[in-house]
């Protein structure tokens, strides 16, 4: 009877993957009974697979374990000189970056963080949206505090101190820059609205509007259902300011959000903060000398503190990063372990991952089944390693925060569009993962896809699972990532229905 039940479960789980599309692909999977502590189903479970963004399960779990759910970033602003009776600061105004990834409109008045299912970092789709509000909201909050401190004029510089962590280049997934200062995810949101007829000019709106970048559009409206060819790669920089020329075309009647990825987050933040200050009446005396030495940490005293922003707790950051699969946020976390816990001054990533490795070893996990080089997707895991990690995570005090952040199949986050009409809708809590690239032999793409998380099945079994597809080839004009996601979603639905 037990063997028959196992065979029936295997047939149900494997049915969605029995498609000619996967004839030359690898499917790796494992389902683990969290109540009975045994494997219920396995297929290539000891094979190292590309987990893509399911890697974030480890990154965010490690952050909760090491930093704690209540960890908060504090971003202070200091003055480096006295304030005279006229409100003139005889010195610099310095915002000290802390690594807070949410200096944006994500922060809500009740202390939570907001998200859209298709995050603005994953641009170029009609479904992509930015969180409503002002991307400079946190900088405006700091600027208001500066004004309240009695400063009206700055007779020095307006600076951003990023000495906590030098910029670490871009993350490969969305191309955003890893920095200790993160304003609006280091993105300028560019909304392109096509005209009604082919050949019409498009309209362009950007948010936030700052002196850092201006956009010049030569883009036009294409025929309905034509390919989108909007190009913002023409980026001329001079004295820290950028001019971007937009070319290409967009189908008639469409509106699409694009991401202009800021290459110099420090300058972007400085100019944005200066604008926020000017908007509340704090202006800089341009007659002064703007040259000078870098900020001096000796000036960062309680007496010189004029403003500070305290972030929502880490548990909220985990919620956002998992729901929308934010690469920049996840990429920064190992650096945060290195800076705040290992107190590293160099080799930050190695220092951070040494702490994760120590944690995983203490949990009894087999690191021969795992490899990881970044926080967002540069990894290899076996399905067995992933479910064993998930089983261990479920026993930790911080598990409820990890579970809360997982996308819910057919409901929200990166699983919002998967298995919407399935009986398992709302029953699967899992992290998605997508990787791949162009296939120039067929003008299509090749996709790596993952899905891993938790299910309470229809009969009440509590299970952890990890499903992976390797090298699924897709044709031109197909969203192959979504097709692969539906296959994995159907496997999860089969698990829900057949246990």
Question: How much is the average pLDDT of 389-407?
Answer: 98
> Sign of the CA dihedral 161, 165, 169, 170?
negative
Above pLDDT 90, what percent of the chain?
94
pLDDT per residue as tens digits for the range 433-451: 999 999 999 999 999 999 9
pLDDT band for 294, please (50, 70, 90 cuts). confident
- Burial call 171-180: b when 16+ CB within 10 Å, e when fewer: bebbbbbbbb
Q: 265 is written with which tokens?
A: 């987050």
Question: How much is the average pLDDT of 19-36?
Answer: 95
Q: Which CATH architecture has domain 2-68+315-497?
A: 3-Layer(aba) Sandwich (3.40)
pLDDT per residue as tens digits for the range 89-134: 999 999 999 999 999 999 999 999 999 999 999 999 899 999 999 9
Q: What are the residue ranges of CATH 3.40.710.10 in the chain?
A: 2-68+315-497
Residue 3, pLDDT score: 62
- Picking from 8-12, 330-334, 395-399, which range would have the lowest pLDDT averaged per residue? 8-12
pLDDT per residue as tens digits for the range 354-385: 999 999 999 999 999 999 999 999 999 999 99
Residue 1, pLDDT score: 45
Q: 204 is written with which tokens?
A: 């362009």
Higher pLDDT, 58 or 8: 58
What pTM value is reported for the model? Answer: 0.95
Q: CA 69 to CA 317: how far, in whole Å? A: 9
| 3-class state of residue 180 by DSSP | coil
pLDDT per residue as tens digits for the range 399-421: 999 999 999 999 999 999 999 99
pLDDT per residue as tens digits for the range 327-358: 999 999 999 999 999 999 999 999 999 999 99
396 membership: H or E segment, kind and range: none
User: What's the whole-number average pLDDT of the chain?
Assistant: 95
Residue 7, pLDDT score: 87
Residue 6, pLDDT score: 81
Residue 58, pLDDT score: 98
Contact assessment for residue 135 and residue 191, using Cβ atoms and an 8 Å cutoff: no
Count Cα neighbours of 203 within 13 Å in the Cβ-side half-sphere. Answer: 7
Residue 403, pLDDT score: 98
Partners of 192 in the beta sheet? 204, 256
Residue 286, pLDDT score: 66
| Other beta carbons less than 10 A from residue 249's beta carbon | 21
> What angle is formed at CA 462 by the lines to CA 68 and CA 355, rounded to 5 degrees?
30
Question: How much is the average pLDDT of 381-395?
Answer: 98
Q: CA 357 to CA 371: how far, in whole Å? A: 10
CB under 8 Å to 348, separation ≥6 — which residues? 165, 168, 334, 335, 338, 339
Contact assessment for residue 273 and residue 158, using Cβ atoms and an 8 Å cutoff: yes
Q: What are phi and psi of 357, to 5 degrees?
A: -60, -40
pLDDT per residue as tens digits for the range 199-257: 999 999 999 999 999 999 999 999 998 999 999 999 999 999 999 999 999 999 999 99
Residue 5, pLDDT score: 72
pLDDT per residue as tens digits for the range 318-330: 999 999 999 999 9
pLDDT per residue as tens digits for the range 153-198: 999 999 999 999 999 999 999 999 999 999 999 999 999 999 999 9
Q: Which of 176, 145, 135 is nearest to 310 (CA)?
A: 145
């Amino acid at each position: 009877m037990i063997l028959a039940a196992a065979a029936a479960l295997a047939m149900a789980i494997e049915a969605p993957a029995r498609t000619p599309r996967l004839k030359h692909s690898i499917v790796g999977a494992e389902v683990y009974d969290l109540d009975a502590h045994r494997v219920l189903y396995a297929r290539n479970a000891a094979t190292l697979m590309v987990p893509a963004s399911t890697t974030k399960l480890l990154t965010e779990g490690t952050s909760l374990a090491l930093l704690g759910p209540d960890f908060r970033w504090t971003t202070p602003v200091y003055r480096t000189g006295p304030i005279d009776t006229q409100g003139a600061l005889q010195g610099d105004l310095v915002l000290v970056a802390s690594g807070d990834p949410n200096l944006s409109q994500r922060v809500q008045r009740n202390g939570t963080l907001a998200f859209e299912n298709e995050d603005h970092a994953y641009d170029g789709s009609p479904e992509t949206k930015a969180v409503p509000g002002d991307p400079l909201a946190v900088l405006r909050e700091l600027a208001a505090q500066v004004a309240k401190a009695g400063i009206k004029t700055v007779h020095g510089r307006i600076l951003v101190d990023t000495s906590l962590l030098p910029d670490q280049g871009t993350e490969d997934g969305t191309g955003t820059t890893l920095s200790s200062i993160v304003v609006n995810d280091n993105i300028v949101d560019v909304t392109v609205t096509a005209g009604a007829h082919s050949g019409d000019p498009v309209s362009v709106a950007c948010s936030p509007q700052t002196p850092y970048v201006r956009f010049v559009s030569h883009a036009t409206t294409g025929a309905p259902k034509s390919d989108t060819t909007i190009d913002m790669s023409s980026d001329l920089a001079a004295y820290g300011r950028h001019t971007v020329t937009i070319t290409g075309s967009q189908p008639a009647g469409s509106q699409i959000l694009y991401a202009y990825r800021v290459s110099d987050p420090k300058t972007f933040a400085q100019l944005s903060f200066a604008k926020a200050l000017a908007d509340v009446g704090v202006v800089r005396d341009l007659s002064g000398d703007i040259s000078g030495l870098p900020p001096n940490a000796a000036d960062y005293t309680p007496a010189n503190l004029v403003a500070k922003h305290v972030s929502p707790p880490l548990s909220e950051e985990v919620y956002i990063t998992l729901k929308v699969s934010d690469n920049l946020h996840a990429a920064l976390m190992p650096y945060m372990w290195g800076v705040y816990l290992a107190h590293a001054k160099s080799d930050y990533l190695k220092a951070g991952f040494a702490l994760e490795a120590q944690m995983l070893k203490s949990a009894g996990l087999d690191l021969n089944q795992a490899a990881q080089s970044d926080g967002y997707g540069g990894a290899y895991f076996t399905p067995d390693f992933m479910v064993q990690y998930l089983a261990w995570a479920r026993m930790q005090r911080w598990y409820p925060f990890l579970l809360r952040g997982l996308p819910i199949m057919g409901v929200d986050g990166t699983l919002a569009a998967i298995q919407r009409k399935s009986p398992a809708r709302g029953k699967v809590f899992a992290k998605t993962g997508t990787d791949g690239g162009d296939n120039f032999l067929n003008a299509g793409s090749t996709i790596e896809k993952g899905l891993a998380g938790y299910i309470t099945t229809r009969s009440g079994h509590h299970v952890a699972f990890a499903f992976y597809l390797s090298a699924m080839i897709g044709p031109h004009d197909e969203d192959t990532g979504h097709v692969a996601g539906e296959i994995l979603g159907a496997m999860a639905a089969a698990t829900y229905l057949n246990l």
